[in-house]
A and B are shown apart, each in its own frame.
Chain A
Amino acid sequence: MNFVRKNSVPLFFVALCGTGAYYSGLGASFLLNEIITRLARNSFLVISLIIPVLAGMGLNFGIVLGAMAAQLAYILVVNLEFRGFVGVLSTCVLSIPLSVLFGWLTGILFNKAKGKEMITGIILGFFANGLYQLVCLTFVGWIIPVRLASMLLPDKSGAGPGIGLVNTIDLRSVQYSIDNLWKIRITMPDIRNFCAWMGWDVTIPPSIPITIPVGTFLIIGLLCAGMYFLFRTKLGQDFRAVGQDRTIAEVSGIAVDRVRVAAIVFSTVLAGLGQIVFLQNMGNLQTYGSHVQVGTFAVASLLIGGASVARATVGQALLGTLLFHTLFVVSPQAGKNLMGNVQVGEFFRVFISYAVFCVALALHAWRRIRDRNAGDE
């Protein structure tokens, strides 16, 4: 019973995903393939949220800035026409200084808004998005020169390149360069012949080969191991100490503000790398859209995995990503089959990703107040 109460959120979503998968009518191999792809694509981003949670700063909605750094790096790399693995590698190298800068600024801002980090992070994401649009839409091609004319929006007269980056930037030159490092294909046995032979009258969609991007998963594994070791270093212990109690940490000689900035810098850099992994799989960059939902989706994934505002593990991040993206895959079809409308499933999924945040936060705040009241008496 205790197990159920402790894991009520993930269990609820397991049930929801199961129901959705059943009603979606999608084939098992298709579903598995989609989920594996999405797990490889998104896990890195979700894991990047963990350090600030443990440092007591809540869910870092500021990872949107890391995603922006990654996208700016991609834009530069495409502009320089770097290709393949070299292209992705140079994107990583270029994104890190940008992420460090953004993370550092975010950290300073959060230190000025202690206790309000989350709402500050949400608003900061919107604000930074405004600045990002300002740079990409009006500065690029005007103040910032671009090599490739194809990256610019056409001029108003349609004669030549104008000002501002195009809405979609093609990343085919670097697509799958991490995924393809090592890829395994597994074909599930086709059970249709078996069913026919047995005389069962069931319709099963044809089995398709499942592709596993082992290279990407290895990198994610490396990140998990890195997190494990980080929390065994002095800095990692400082993160935890600050997360448990700022005043006590301060008294015991930890430079709290600096540790908090470091936590955000780590998170932002990892988010940037995560967005690079994400985009090399997608193969195109929505210049004005790819980063917008990064924060919300990553936070929702982590919470669905059973994490709270004050506690999160790598396992919860992975489980949450799995469940959230299963819901992503099945909800349009399930919505269509249950309600006769694809959009309803889509709206429902969006609702869930926002609502889970509300519920998780409410539960957390509730628990904290209860603890405080218990302490008073």
Chain B
Amino acid sequence: MRDGMVSRGLRNFGMARSVIVVFLVYLLAHAFYLGLPMGQLFSSMLVRFGMNGILALAMIPTIQAGMGPNFALPLGIICGLVGGTAVIELNLRGATAFAAAIVVAVVLGAATGWLYALLLNRVKGQEMTVGTYFGFSIVSLMCIFWTLAPFHNKEMIWPYGGTGLRNTITLKGWFDRILDNLWSFRVMGVDIPTGTLLFFALFCLLMWMFLRSKTGVAMTAVGNNPRFARSMGLDVDRYRLIASVVSNALAAVGMLVYAQSFGFLQLYQAPLFMAFFAVASVLIGGASMKRITLSHVLIGNFLFQSVLVVSMPVANVVFSDNMSEILRIIISNGIILYALTRKEADAA
């Protein structure tokens, strides 16, 4: 009995995850061998884990509701960016600015998520393809918005000549590292971004409660077997709508958490490929296109972000400068391809 459990446990741990773990251990060993500052590396691993966590968390509702990973993540991300630029335009600073930005982002994210669900409910079975291109088209439509919107704050618009907002807006003096620095402390040369980690933990807790609520259970039932759910009297489209709303609102919040750690708001084409990295990270954690748990998000997010953090300095020393970016593209898209071709028998 115990034997069976161990081997099943290993099998469940998954090939992709094992490969990434081995790769991460190798990278860490190599970094140590190269004499890179390990304290700094571990600090960045923690920061990256916290800053990308909520974006990865946004994958849970849509996968659970049977809509696949949310490839339209840029939609929510842009709502977060609108929130961020709006509070700077209003000249808010510090925690007030961050809180206000979150409120704007959540409202916009939920509203657009609701509208997006109306489209998705009409394209059942093609959510991933439609989502990808919907995300792309929203990003390019918003490029026009960033160019033409009547923003006046001098720190956001191009100083002279050009029209519209800058490509990159620095958050220094607005809400730069507002969570990272909250209650942060240093252990053995490792800076702990307590605020960001606690904020992520709070959202994990909320998600955990949501999945166990009546709505969450019904949503999972809809995802597992829509026909059965319908025969039970559940309104399939309504739960898909809820999943889309929650996912998009999370993406909007996730973007602001990301931005405060990163220190900049990146507009225009920047959100274009962000969805793929979030999708890849939960898949590395062991999620499939149809099944995901909170632990998949936590493990995957940690492994993926850590590999990126550690591979950058190692690759730059050993190979060329572009190596870590290439690695990021290969790993993230490779894992998505792997998940797409996997038979979904294990999800049942």
A residues in contact (CB < 8 Å) with B = 109, 112-113, 115-116, 118-120, 122-124, 126-127, 129-131, 133-134, 137-138, 163-164, 339-341, 343-344, 347-348, 350-351, 354-355, 357-358, 361-362, 364-366, 369
Contacts and interface: CB of A to CB of B under 8 A. Distances in A.
B321 to A, nearest CB: 9
10 contacts: A118-B129, A126-B276, A131-B330, A133-B322, A134-B326, A138-B320, A164-B322, A343-B147, A354-B133, A355-B133
A46 B62 CA distance: 34
B143 A366 contact: no
Contact of B341 (A120, A133, A343): A120
Q: Mostly helix, strand, loop or mixed at chain B's interface?
A: helix
Nearest to A355: B137
B323 to A, nearest CB: 6
Given A127-B337, A130-B329, A138-B323, A347 B130 contact: no
4 closest Cβ pairs, A-B complex: A130-B329, A354-B137, A127-B333, A365-B123
A341 B163 contact: yes
A112 B341 CA distance: 5
A109 B334 CA distance: 12
Contacts of B137: 351, 354-355, 357-358
B160 interface: no
A355 B134 CA distance: 7
A361 B136 contact: no
Contacts of B128: 116, 119
A358 B323 CA distance: 33
Nearest to A163: B320
Nearest to A299: B133
B141 to A, nearest CB: 5
B173 to A, nearest CB: 28
A346 to B, nearest CB: 9
A119 B129 contact: yes
Contact of B329 (A129, A355, A357): A129
Given A119-B340, A339-B148, 6 more contacts: A122-B129, A127-B337, A351-B141, A357-B137, A358-B130, A365-B122
Nearest to B136: A354
B341 to A, nearest CB: 4
A129 B325 CA distance: 12
A344 B78 CA distance: 18
Contacts of B125: 115, 365
Contacts of A366: 122-123
A122 B132 contact: yes
B124 interface: yes
Given A350-B143, A365-B123, A365-B124, A120 B340 contact: yes
Interface string B111-130: 00000000100111110111
A130 B330 contact: yes
Given A341-B163, A366-B122, A123 B333 contact: yes
A362 B130 contact: yes
B326 A350 contact: no
A365 B124 CA distance: 7
A290 B246 CA distance: 38
A107 to B, nearest CB: 13
A134 B143 CA distance: 30
B144 A351 contact: yes
Contacts of A133: 322, 326, 329
Contacts of B144: 344, 347-348, 351
A341 B337 CA distance: 40
B336 interface: yes
A214 B286 CA distance: 55
A364 B334 CA distance: 28
A123 B143 CA distance: 24
Interface string B132-157: 11101100110110011000000000
A369 B129 contact: no
A319 B135 CA distance: 27
Nearest to B315: A138
Nearest to B145: A347
Contacts of B326: 130, 133-134, 137-138
A340 B163 CA distance: 10
B147 A347 contact: yes
